[in-house]
Chains A and B, each alone.
Chain A
Amino acid sequence: MKQPSLAHVLQPKWRTALQRVREERARGGTGKLIILALVGAGFWAGVFGVLYRILKALRAVEELGPLIPGKILGLILLSFISILVLSNVITALSSFFLAKDLDLLVSAPVDWLRLYLAKLGETLLHSSWMVALMAVPILAAYGVVFKGGVLFGLYALLAIIPMLVLPAVLGCAVTLVLVNIFPARRTRDLLSIIALGAAGGVILLFRMIRPEQLARPEGFRNLLDFVILLRGPTSPFLPSEWASQAIMGYLRHELDPLPLLLLWTTAAAFVTLGAVLHRALYAQGFTKAQEGAERFIRGGLWRWTVGSLLGWLPVAKREFVLKDIKLFFRDTTQWSQLILLAVLIVVYLFNIQALPLHRGEPVGFFYVNLVSFLNLGLAGFVLASIAARFIFPAVSLEGRQMWLLRSSPLDLRALLWSKYWVGTLPLLIGDRLAPELGEQDFHRSNVKLIAIGQERGTDIAPGGVIHLLQMIVRGQEVRPVGHLRSGLAAFQSQQARDGEEGDVDSGFHVICYFPVVIIWLWTTRRASEGQGRQTLLPRPCPSLQT
């Protein structure tokens, strides 16, 4: 029987994409597209500009100059690969097992190889396009600084394509195996495993590259050790290293075909092995994935626990809150995004812990400021992500169920009330607990900022201003009001009483984050100008010691 071509199987996808662009244009969205393109170009230019300056500066350093850019590229590509593996695992679950068009494709006489390649391509595209776009200005900066010429673009493409294929095949294979292991569609268990594996994998990868060694050249016995480390491959068995070697080899005019050969042959071998695995396991896995959601969920536990706790609420509000909580825990699509967020936080905390701040010697004023504001940024990022992704669209997510809500005598205020509290309570609790788990030391560092400012006698105690701003933007607490009323003196004495409670958590940090950053830059600059960048704390900061 004549089989449809791969392009034919993929046809609806690209036609759909084209149609969406056409519709956008027809709706007068050309302006929107242009703005989007301009923002994208601006972002590219920003990334290019920053990297260009760094590479230019590094290139001027003798001996280490040519080595460090290679190392940086290796690290960038390694982080790309780790993100891609996770992204591909999650995307593969959708494209291979949950997509709506699968019934049509599986019931048609399309052979397994075409189905595999089509879905692999779909997964690859969906999960890698952002990374591929991000790579453009980075590689362009390398090409320009190292004068790679016009052909460098093509060469870089040759190195990057197999590097994208490998995590896609790996992600699909992992998903395929997991779907086969778990009975029925236990996506919940599946995603937990994926998340744990991914978090572990990411931490492992970051550990493997030992970034702290690069930041501590003084820890090497001599310069030679440092150079040897820089010359050595970061992770010789990972395709990111091969891609980095291939690209840097081209740029240094030391063409070595081996890395490219390794990349392409490994990619080909992976696709072949992936296809073999697909042939053996897909039909069984697809059947398991079709076995619907979990059956026989009685939801008794929720009713006994949360239901009892909410017994004082009117029945409509209680049922709404219960419904939202149940749906959240049963709808795994919401989980994957939270899991990704959690992984990012874990990586962040890991990196902060790995910073060379815990060795007992005095810590630079700049570092204390930096860590404090990274914390502030993290709190804002977490809150903004959760609020924007989960709470903001909560009402509109009712979507198809609106007929039921609007045709019932439900008071819309009850709907809004329950949506508000279902979102707010976990945020408030998380906002309180999460920083306590991992960042206690760094909260204290914020308090120390005040002390630094005061000890230095800078005009208006920059740390104090910053903390005051933090407290103002806390919004939900009464204390700041008191501080404002009684002035800075009262604020300082309150700080003395509060001591360790000077944490950075706040539900509304993100709103005021940028003004705070601007003030921080300003005060830091002043402090640096007045006392020089090398100024250290008068005594080792106890909170920053291990």
Chain B
Amino acid sequence: MIRLENLTKLYGSFVAVDDISLHVPRGILFGCLGPNGAGKTTTLRMIAGILRPTQGRVLLGGDDVHVNPLSAKMRLGFIPDRPFVYDKLTGAEFLRFVAGLYGQEGDSVERRIAELLEVFELTSWKDELVEAYSHGMRQKLIISSALIHRPECIVVDEPMVGLDPKAARLLKDIFRQFVERGGTVLMSTHTLEVAEAMCDQIAIIQHGKIVAAGTVSDVRRQHKAGDASLEELFLKLTGGAQIRELVEVLGAVR
């Protein structure tokens, strides 16, 4: 469903993404892990068609995002890490607007809006301006907007940030069901427990390169990690295991 071919992105002389090739098949929940600044967000923004790769290409369902952007983007629902919502629109107006961007209107859209707001417990807020929403409610609204046009795949950057436990659980269930019905989810996350519990496959990115990919068991096997937890595996692969002793970093408390 999502195919990255030799994807490279340079910011000036800085290599943010370094020759990444990846295939995320249909019906898979795929997790992108990596420390801050590893290149996850840049990769996801290239997949969404916001950034142009310096080299390589991104295919969504066979369509190159930069050659056939309209048909590729029709398949996609994108949730950025710092999403923008028009503050002066109501939740329902915002969803209607996004549906319109995907060429959808009419009763089916209204039904879909009601359905999504109901699922995310935003129905009573649908006519409130977005500026009155809490961070978590905005996040739920953004997720609803990514689902409004029934995409084939969802690309989501740090989906759990700001969600309460109930909403986080709801999101996990939604993504799981979405995948079980044939959809594809590619998400980046720092929450290793979430990745371990939810993802069918993972890729660990470090300095713009994929240092490990596959199921968690595959990665353990590749790196001879035995029964190590994903956290230990992650720290091993990203150099985090060599961090200094906590006491040394914090210093003595006066």
The interface of chain A, by Cβ under 8 A from chain B, is 1-4, 8-9, 11-12, 15-16, 19-20, 100-101, 103-111, 183-184, 283-284, 286-287, 290-292, 295
Q: What mask results when residues 29 to 51 of chain B are scored 1 for a CB within 8 Å of chain A, else 0?
A: 00000000000000001001111
**B residues 73-107 touching A (CB-CB < 8 Å):** 73-74, 76, 78, 80, 83-84, 86-89, 93-94, 97-98, 100-103
Between-chain CB contacts (< 8 Å), 21 pairs: A2-B103, A3-B103, A4-B101, A8-B97, A15-B86, A19-B88, A100-B84, A103-B50, A104-B83, A106-B49, A107-B73, A107-B76, A107-B80, A108-B73, A108-B98, A109-B71, A109-B101, A184-B11, A290-B45, A290-B50, A295-B14
Chain B CB within 10 A, most for which of A107, A184, A283, A286: A107
B129 within 8 A of A: yes
Residues 8-36 of B contacting A (Cβ, < 8 Å):
11-12, 14
B182 proximal to A (CB < 8 A): no
Is B52's beta carbon under 8 Å from chain A?
A: yes
B62 interface hit (Cβ, 8 Å)? no
In the complex, what residues of B have CB within 8 A of residue A284's CB? Answer: 52
B70 at interface (Cβ–Cβ under 8 A)?
Answer: yes
Among B52-68, those with CB < 8 Å from A are 52, 66
CB <8 Å contact, A110 and B88: no
On chain B, the residues within 8 Å of A184 by CB distance are 11-12
Give Cα distance in the complex from A284 to B78, angstroms: 20
Extra 6 A-B pairs, beta carbons < 8 Å, given A4-B103, A105-B101, A291-B11 = A2-B103, A15-B93, A16-B89, A106-B49, A107-B48, A109-B103
Task: Give the size of the chain B interface in residues (CB under 8 angstroms).
Answer: 33
| Contact, CB under 8 Å: A109 / B69 | yes
A290 and B51 form a contact (CB under 8 A)? yes
A101 and B88: CB pair below 8 A?
Answer: no
Cβ distance B80 to chain A, nearest Cβ, rounded Å: 6
Residues of B within 8 A of A4 (CB): 100-101, 103
User: Using Cβ atoms and an 8 Å threshold, which residues of chain A touch B86?
Assistant: 12, 15-16, 101
Nearest CB on A from B59, distance (A): 16
Residues in chain A near residue B93, CB distance under 8 A: 15
* Distance A531 CA – B98 CA, assembled complex (angstroms): 74
Contacts of B102 in A (CB 8 A): 108-109
Q: CB-CB < 8 A to A8: which residues of B?
A: 97, 100-101
B-side contacts of A19, CB under 8 Å = 88-89, 129
Closest chain-B Cβ to A19's Cβ sits at a distance in Å of: 4
Does the CB pair A107–B11 fall under 8 Å? no
CA distance A15 to B71 in the complex (A): 29
Interface centre among B69, B80, B94 (most CB of A within 10 A): B69
Contacts of A283 in B (CB 8 A): 52, 66
CA distance A4 to B101 in the complex (A): 5
Which chain A residues border B80 with CB–CB below 8 Å?
103, 107
Report the nearest B residue to A5, measured CB to CB: B100
In whole angstroms, what is the CA distance A2 to B149 when docked? 13
Residues of A within 8 A of B88 (CB): 12, 15-16, 19-20
| Contact status of A106 and B50, CB under 8 A, knowing A1-B70, A15-B93, A292-B11 | yes
Q: Which residues of A contact B71 (CB under 8 A)?
A: 1, 109
Task: Specify the chain B residue showing the minimal Cβ separation from A292.
Answer: B11
Is the pair B52, A108 in contact by a Cβ cutoff of 8 Å?
Answer: no
Kindly report which residue of chain B lies nearest to residue A108, judged by CB atoms: B101
Closest CB of chain B to A323's CB: distance in Å?
A: 23
- Give, as a whole number of angstroms, the nearest-CB distance from A427 to chain B: 35
The smallest C-beta distance from A113 to any residue of chain B, in angstroms, reads 12
Q: Hey, which chain A residues are within 8 Å of B103, CB to CB?
A: 1-4, 109
Kindly state the separation between the CA atoms of A283 and B71 in the bound complex, as whole angstroms. 17
Docked Cα-Cα span, A136 to B12, in Å, equals 48
* Chain B residues whose CB sits within 8 angstroms of the CB of A107 once the complex forms: 48-50, 73, 76, 78, 80
Are B76 and A12 touching (Cβ within 8 A)? no
A525 to B83, CA, bound (A): 63
Give the complex CA separation of A2 and B100 in angstroms.
9
Q: What are the 9 A-B residue pairs with the smallest beta carbon separation, nearest first?
A: A2-B103, A16-B88, A108-B101, A109-B73, A287-B52, A19-B88, A100-B84, A12-B86, A107-B48
Chain B residues whose CB sits within 8 angstroms of the CB of A291 once the complex forms: 11-12
CB distance from B48 to the nearest CB of A (A): 4
Min C-beta distance of A89 to chain B, whole Å: 24
Which residues in B have their C-beta under 8 angstroms from that of A111? 70
Kindly name the residue among B52, B69, B98, B101 whose own CB sees the greatest number of chain A CB atoms within 10 A.
B101
Which B residues are in CB contact (< 8 Å) with A104? Answer: 83-84, 98, 101
Distance to closest chain B CB from A291 (angstroms): 5
Question: How many Å from the CB of B140 to the closest CB on chain A?
Answer: 16
The CA of A8 and the CA of B76, in the complex, are separated in Å by 20
Q: How many Å lie between the Cα of A240 and that of B191 in the bound state?
A: 60
